[in-house]
Amino acid sequence: MHFLPKLEEIERRYESLTADLGNPQVLGDPSAYQKTAKAHSDLQEIVDRYREWKEIQKALVETKTLLEESSSDSEMRALAQEELAELEKRQEAIEGQLKLLLLPKDPNDEKNCVLEIRAGTGGDEATLFAQEIFRMYGRYAEEQRWKMEILSSSLSGIGGLKEVIALVEGKKVYSRLKYESGVHRVQRVPETEQQGRVHTSAITVAVLPEADEVDIEIDPKEIRIDTFCSSGPGGQSVNTTYSAVRITHLPTGMVVSCQDEKSQIKNRAKAMRVLRSRLYDMKLEEQQKQISEERRAMVGTGDRSEKIRTYNFPQNRVTDHRIGLTLYQLDRIIDGKLDEIIDALITHYQTEKLKQATVAA
């Protein structure tokens, strides 16, 4: 393997971190211990695979020696050849895993995310579809044992969602949802359609990594905070106190409103989380423009106006246009069974990265 020196270096680093975890100075400093434990945990899987690969190498040498020594024993030779074939198969599989594990990690993969869903073309039907897609992600979050909290929402007159913003918290949330950003299109016969014609509507989904305060510092002088009374569908008053909050980021003109809580302080905190994540996403996009070739190769242009998926209800079909995947399981997928699509997307983009890494090497 051409990346053997890299693996040896990682194993040495892992062993050094293992020793550090038993160091009294590190144990006595919670911050240093947490940092060391995180670095140690990040290397665990790759070191485990590398050590497994080394054990297979030893077994291969022993089996080849046995094969040479058993030239006169046909039964022993057959067993050794069978063992050799099995070991080579395992070696190939682990080398493939190691190549993937050595790919540069997305630093945001471990983060929570802010999920934003907005109704697009299609009027009321689009708001109903937005509500269904939000419920789909909610059910998927439950299956993953993630926590989903609505930060802001706006209902349509018929009970659909014009817009919803939610925080999704849990293990590797962003790594699983990051490829969901884009335009989701639905094809079906609306309940209001008398003649049974199939209509097409669309919504937009944005998945933003949640920004920590360390990632984005917001100068209090650069924001304007307005308070107003919360309102429900059709504009009716929800409460008469000025608990709803609107934050305007003056340098960018970005506006975030939050009115789901009855407490102004809670609404302000939620709105700041959304603002921070949007500014972080903007910062990431600026960085990605500088390395746009990789981004283009990975996710097209990255333009959220691109249609990424179509949900066809009459045919029970879901198609992800980026990877040409079609599944006749819309009923399961809309119920939150998203793993098959998400796993296929992750595999596709990992393969693309692997091709680029091979070319670069």
* ∠ CA 176-178-180, rounded to 5°: 100
Residues 90 and 118 placed together within one structural domain of the fold: no
The predicted structure's pLDDT at residue 159: 85
Note down the domain range covering 244. Answer: 113-352
- The answer, as to whether pTM is greater than 0.85, is no
Out of 46, 75, 101, a domain closes at: 101
d(CA 5, CA 360) in angstroms, rounded, equals 17
Model confidence pLDDT, tens digit, residues 283-327: 887 766 654 444 344 334 334 446 899 999 999 999 999 999 999
3-state helix, strand, coil in the chain (%, to 5): 50, 20, 25
Residues 347 and 316 placed together within one structural domain of the fold: yes
Out of 101, 135, 151, a domain closes at: 101
Residues 129 and 91 placed together within one structural domain of the fold: no
Collapsing DSSP to helix, strand or coil, 50 comes out as helix
Within-domain flag for 360:
no
Within-domain flag for 238:
yes
Residues 190 and 93 placed together within one structural domain of the fold: no
Model confidence pLDDT, tens digit, residues 228-267: 776 654 444 444 567 788 889 988 888 988 877 778 888 8
Within-domain flag for 108:
no
Collapsing DSSP to helix, strand or coil, 234 comes out as helix
The predicted structure's pLDDT at residue 77: 85
Q: Pick the residue with more confidence: 337 or 260?
A: 337
Out of 74, 101, 128, a domain closes at: 101
Within-domain flag for 94:
yes
* Number of structural domains found in the chain: 2
Phi, psi of 298 (to 5 degrees): -85, -50
- What CATH number has the domain bearing residue 258? 3.30.70.1660
